[in-house]
Amino acid sequence: RHPPEMLRKTLPLSRTAMAAARSMRPMNARAASDYALPSLPYALGALEPIVNAEIMTLHHGKHHATYVANLNAAMDKYAEAEAKKDVATMIALQSAIKFNGGGHVNHTIFWTNLCAPKDYVEPAAASPELAKMIEAQWGSIDAFKTAFNAKTVAVQGSGWGWLGYNKATKTLAIETCANQDPLSITGLVPLLGIDVWEHAYYLQYKNVRPEYLKQIWQVVNWKNVAERYNAAK
């Protein structure tokens, strides 16, 4: 099981980034890497034939790894700037923290949101409560998938499609985020995220994003989505 990853110092907003930097150790005492690339909870080829091993090797080992490296570098610079009371540099670093921090948060969720086809279970089997909530809001699981795909396929350029939970209204919502913006900045708790950056599918699906979105449901880990829902309630 893979519980929600509320990574420390992750929400890449100005206020939280500054709080994170204040909590960091002095630069000369700081570990080489406060943020690390998480291991995949399955083999690189486990999602085949839906997502092939070549995509997973590049996506996890190159793209996600780069977000982690750049986040660590940005946080190093932020801590140094704060120590010098260099507010201009602290402000300038916000975009790098948001982009790379968001990339790290989003992908850490994404890997656990997926599972091998042999391990797939239907939403109702994973969580009857969550399945009924989806059906109540969208009419059926299939109607939900159709609505999710329609909104997510329309993301301009790069971004993510999300199923989130609204704690205030106790409802579910389909939302999209541009680039690597994390869903948390909308106030929703992320339950399921689908990456629609081209690096997530291009080597296998070329530029046919709708087909990728159609197929990806065969490897959605509804058990993990249910765990996130239970934790968010």
For 198-225, give the DSSP string: GGGTHHHHTT-HHHHHHHHGGGB-HHHH
Half-sphere exposure of 119 (CA within 13 A, CB side): 18
Over its length of 233 residues, how does the chain's per-residue pLDDT go in tens digits? 444 443 433 334 444 444 444 444 433 334 445 899 999 999 999 999 999 999 999 999 999 999 999 999 999 999 999 999 999 999 999 999 999 999 999 999 999 999 999 999 999 999 999 999 999 999 999 999 999 999 999 999 999 999 999 999 999 999 999 999 999 999 999 999 999 999 999 999 999 999 999 999 999 999 999 999 999 99
Vertex 123 angle, CA 118 and 126, to 5°: 75
What pLDDT was estimated at residue 24? 41
Confidence (pTM): 0.86
What pLDDT was estimated at residue 9? 37
What pLDDT was estimated at residue 144? 98
Say which residues have a Cβ less than 8 Å from residue 188's Cβ, sequence separation at least 6: 162, 164, 165, 166, 173, 175
**What's the order of all strands across the beta sheet hosting 189-195?**
171-178, 159-166, 189-195
What pLDDT was estimated at residue 185? 97
What pLDDT was estimated at residue 63? 98
DSSP label of 38: P
What pLDDT was estimated at residue 200? 98
Quote the CA–CA distance of 139 and 120 in Å, as a whole number. 22
What pLDDT was estimated at residue 88? 98
Structural Rg of the chain based on CA atoms: 18
